[in-house]
Amino acid sequence: MTKATIDNVAALAGVSIKTVSRVVNKEPNVRQSTRDKVLKAVAELDYRPNLSARSLAGNRSYVLGLLYDNPSANYVIDVQDGVLTTCRAQGYDVLIHPCNHQDPDIGKEVTNLIRQTRIDGIILTPPLSDVSAILEVLKDSRIPFVRIAPTLQKDLCPYVETNDAEAAYDMTNQLISLGHRRIGFVSGHPDHRAVSHRFEGYRAALVENHIELDDDLVVQGYNSFESGEEAANTLLNLSARPSAIFAANDDMAAGVMMVAHQMGIDIPRELSVAGYDDTPVAHQIWPSLTTVRQPIQAMAQKATDLLLKQLMGKEVQLPASMLSSSLIQRDSTGPAGPAR
């Protein structure tokens, strides 16, 4: 009952195992009547190919590796779901592999992973998409891979990205159109280049509106709530404090709001706050946070799709793909008050 091998199916259908293999793998050159016989036998015996055997004989595993080192549970889960959705539809499985992008042995770790599990391809998410030790290993081992939101060496493999800078630009513009002129910015972790590049959008919007970039208004954050709090402490204690703060992610924006609350600063009347990512906290916090939503699941699906196409030998005619983020207007932003 727990068995039923290709031999059983072949015997029942009265064909050779090679024919069964052809049918199961949807190969061409099988007469329709033969195909039907085989499928009937497959159904009758409830046959499932043994993946280990297939993997050993075919020299591939039908498993993709998903590498990540992202402290945001929501981001990781969204990526996983996207990857899994596409993989399941194509009969692939996923091996998740969280790791530490600062580990000096990260290259060896990835080598191990590839050699041991014989995964067929790898999906890299930020910030790993920009870790050169990993890219090096992947290139050398000639294993197909894709990257989500890389910022470096984009010619290395297919990739999927979003218009981060553009969305940040839109958000900043929106704040400016609400009358804000002194807009603080809490930048992202320098290792997360995609996040840190959101700063470019902020800068571009200022330039376009002829607002001088004030260095005092730009504070380095590290993507965490706590770093947002620290940044807010700096910004809100400035002699001329900003009327709006745009944080490069929601966690930091939440930190900003926490400090504002503690200082008795009313949001959005005295201070507008904007974030980026649309994590759950963004709508659970009070007041709810104006932010930017990224199509994380869609990006992951697209990336997986690109990878699978590569594996099937199809030339990827669209080696790069751009998906759009969108602005989510909530209650934490409003018109600038009278100058203070």
Partner DNA sequence: TTGAAAGCGCTAACAT
Partner DNA sequence: ATGTTAGCGCTTTCAA
Q: Does 156 bind DNA (CB under 7 A)?
A: no
**How many Cα atoms occupy the beta-carbon half-sphere of 25 within 13 Å?**
16
Nearest residue to 136 (alpha-carbon basis) of 118, 161, 114? 114
For 138-146, the CB contacts below 8 A with 24+ separation are 138/110, 141/111, 141/114, 143/114, 143/119, 144/120, 144/307, 144/310, 144/311, 145/121, 145/307, 146/121, 146/122, 146/303, 146/304, 146/306, 146/307, 146/310
Q: What is the rounded distance in angstroms from the CA atom of residue 38 to the CA atom of residue 60? A: 24
Please state the closest distance from residue 62 (CB atom) to DNA, in A.
9
| Residues in the chain, total | 340
The token pair that represents 160 in the structure block: 């999927």
The token pair that represents 123 in the structure block: 């999906």
Q: Among 25, 90, 100, 141, which residue sits at the site for a copy of itself (rule: CB under 8 A)?
A: 141
Stretch that binds DNA, among 32-40, 148-156, 234-242, 317-325 (CB under 7 A): 32-40
Stretch that binds a copy of itself, among 72-80, 124-132, 184-192, 198-206 (CB under 8 A): 72-80
Q: Among 26, 31, 142, 314, which residue sits at the site for DNA (rule: CB under 7 A)?
A: 31
First to last CA, the chain: 78
Please state the closest distance from residue 29 (CB atom) to DNA, in A.
3
Q: Among 35, 118, 197, 309, which residue sits at the site for a copy of itself (rule: CB under 8 A)?
A: 118
If the CB atoms of residues 173 and 304 are measured against a copy of itself, the closer one turns out to be 304
Q: Does 124 bind a copy of itself (CB under 8 A)?
A: no
DSSP assigned state of 289: P
Question: Could you tell me the sign of the dihedral formed by the alpha carbons of 141, 147, 152, 155, in that order?
Answer: positive
Stretch that binds DNA, among 22-30, 220-228, 259-267, 297-305 (CB under 7 A): 22-30
Q: What is the rounded distance in angstroms from the CA atom of residue 220 to the CA atom of residue 238? A: 15
Rounded to whole angstroms, what are the CA distances from 294 to 30, 78, 87, 297, 327?
45, 11, 21, 9, 9
If the CB atoms of residues 174 and 249 are measured against a copy of itself, the closer one turns out to be 249
Choose the one of a copy of itself, DNA, none that binds residue 22, judging by a C-beta under 5 to 8 angstroms depending on kind: DNA
Q: What is the rounded distance in angstroms from the CA atom of residue 175 to the CA atom of residue 278? A: 17
If the CB atoms of residues 9 and 257 are measured against DNA, the closer one turns out to be 9
If the CB atoms of residues 64 and 254 are measured against DNA, the closer one turns out to be 64
Q: Does 284 bind a copy of itself (CB under 8 A)?
A: yes
Q: Does 39 bind DNA (CB under 7 A)?
A: no
If the CB atoms of residues 287 and 295 are measured against a copy of itself, the closer one turns out to be 287
x/- letters, 54..83, toward DNA (CB under 7 A): x-xxxx------------------------
Question: What is the radius of gyration, based on Cα positions, of the chain?
Answer: 25
Kindly list the residues in this chain that would bind a copy of itself in the complex (CB under 8 A).
2, 48-53, 55-56, 61, 73-74, 76-78, 80-81, 84, 93-96, 98, 112, 115-118, 141, 225, 251, 254-255, 257-258, 261-262, 280-281, 283-288
